[in-house]
Amino acid sequence: MKSDKMKKGVQCAPQRSLLHALGMTDEEIAKPLIGIVSSYNEIVPGHMNIDKITNAVKTGVAMAGGNPVVFPAIAVCDGIAMGHQGMKYSLVTRDLIADSTECMALAHAFDALVMIPNCDKNVPGLLMAAARLNIPTIFVSGGPMLAGRVQGCKTSLSSMFEAVGKYNAGKITDEELNEYENKVCPSCGSCSGMYTANSMNCLTEVLGMALRGNGTIPAVYSERIQLAKRAGMKIMELLEKDIKPRDIMTEDAFRNALTMDMALGCSTNSMLHLPAIAHECGIELNLDIANDISSHTPNLCHLAPAGRTYMEDLNEAGGIYAVMNEINKLGLLKTDLITVTGKTVAENIAGVVNKNPDIIRPVENPYSTTGGIAVLRGNLAPDGCVVKRSAVAPEMLKHSGPAKVFDCEEDAMAAITGGKIVEGDVVVIRYEGPKGGPGMREMLNPTSAIMGMGLGSTVALITDGRFSGATRGASIGHVSPEAAAGGPIGLVKDGDIIEIDINANKINVKVSEEELTARRAGWTPNEPKIKTGYLARYAALVTSADKGAILKG
């Protein structure tokens, strides 16, 4: 056991004395040391129940003969951080989480790990750490929130943001806004649509790093506690069999994840996180692979914000394994891959039934014959940009209109709420990328304002920043290279015509190469907006969105 290096022999007597100081008995010290990485805190709704999940995991580990020891991981609530400086600190925590987990795991010689994340950056951050450390590891999340109910209809956080836009447009009253505020988030858990947190928790099942139900069992269900106990027991089996993350997260596993990403209609942020996790596994994913997979993968699910169904509905319909089994009717998954169940993908999904074809469309009747995410390229984004195609109105899949250009989110919001954006416009928000932000803020406020004001079927938004999984509409993010890195999005002027063809995977500004060259000759990118502290260090090291916004070594 790895932990023997600090537990056995005369030379380890000082270390054992410190373990005794923790209250450990000789019998506990002799057992495998299992680190439990708990993301519990009292500010993130998706994490407020993780103390119960952690205790259940500890019980499972102890039942199976291990010595469970808890240490923390941080978390930022994207919804609370939205629309102010706090959002600059969201994406950047992914690397802090990976780095701090690496430090804790190696400094204390843990034999295996159970990761307990839930929200947007914790899941990929801990997956990155798992790949980097490559000791037996299993994931069990805090689980999704139940859907809210407003005026008898299910709803979620994305509806809350759009309700603000409706209110500003005079479409709802103070009382109606207050009803949304008090009812859209009725329980703990990761917000109830197929937003980034739930997307990534679902993909842990697909990658093979979590047990069935991890992505979909609601946070408040007792079944979630049972799942946590089973994960605690299962880690001891993984340790005994020496099944490690890089044995599971192979190149084929990532192709499976991209395939299911398209079938489920996951958040565009998955296009940042999957390449970053793969990078830690020594695997390079590029955006062109995503388009290739999308071209022959049908979109089977329209969960919020794309539709009016929620994670609890997907859970009742059979969950992620049911979607995998449906997709595999087309032979699109590699199924001989080992997973944390100790079984292969094929064994895991065998016989799992689609219980509700209205929630999980059969492959014979998909929402579309292509996947939920598209990568676009053109002279505006030579290295690519990303859109959640499944959440775009059909009439906006192809659009041409004049640019309204803003160098930060705040200026764009002022123009949108001030009535300066009209039908046909293409809102361009730049200097919000990984380097330029710094931190690549999510643009849920402006996209929600556009939708809430009734402009979602006529106005597009383009940014070198990113979008919340709650965003819907013709919202195109991750434009690479970003403006701060000299990307052509920095050369766009008000009134330039931008042409978007999502089905053709194209995005161009209708300006000649000669004119763009002339503009570049007299242009210097804006400097990062923050020049001190962690964000300054992050800006100096971060790569572009098309590479997963990973940090240079």
- The set of catalytic residues is 468
Secondary structure of 127-164 in HEC code, one letter for each residue: HHHHHHHCCCEEECCCCECCCEEECCEEECHHHHHHHH
Tokens of 420: 């300066």
Q: Please give the Cα distance from 245 to 331 (Å, whole number).
A: 25
Q: What is each CA distance from 214 to 25, 104, 335, in whole angstroms?
A: 33, 25, 19
Tokens of 332: 């699109």
Q: Please give the Cα distance from 202 to 125 (Å, whole number).
A: 15
Tokens of 175: 């009382």
Q: For residue 329, how many other CB atoms are within 10 A of its CB? A: 11
Query: For strand 497-501 and strand 506-509, is the pairing parallel, antiparallel, or unpaired?
Result: antiparallel
Give the single-character DSSP code of 391.
Answer: G
Tokens of 119: 């929200």
Grouping H, G, I as helix, E, B as strand and the rest as coil, residue 216 is: coil
Cα 374-516-495 angle, rounded to 5 deg: 75
The residue count of the chain comes to 553
Q: Please give the Cα distance from 63 to 65 (Å, whole number).
A: 6
Grouping H, G, I as helix, E, B as strand and the rest as coil, residue 248 is: helix
Structure-token match 């600190």, residue found = 89
Q: Cis omega (within 30 of 0) on the bond before 245?
A: no
Whether 430 contacts 464, CB under 8 Å: yes
Q: Please give the Cα distance from 338 to 173 (Å, whole number).
A: 54
Q: For residue 236, how many other CB atoms are within 10 A of its CB? A: 23
Tokens of 260: 């299911």
Q: Which amino acid is at 285?
A: L
Q: Please give the Cα distance from 395 to 388 (Å, whole number).
A: 15
Tokens of 333: 């998954």
Residue of 118, 48, 119 whose CA lies nearest to 90: 119
Containing 235, the helix (H) or strand (E) segment is helix 222-241
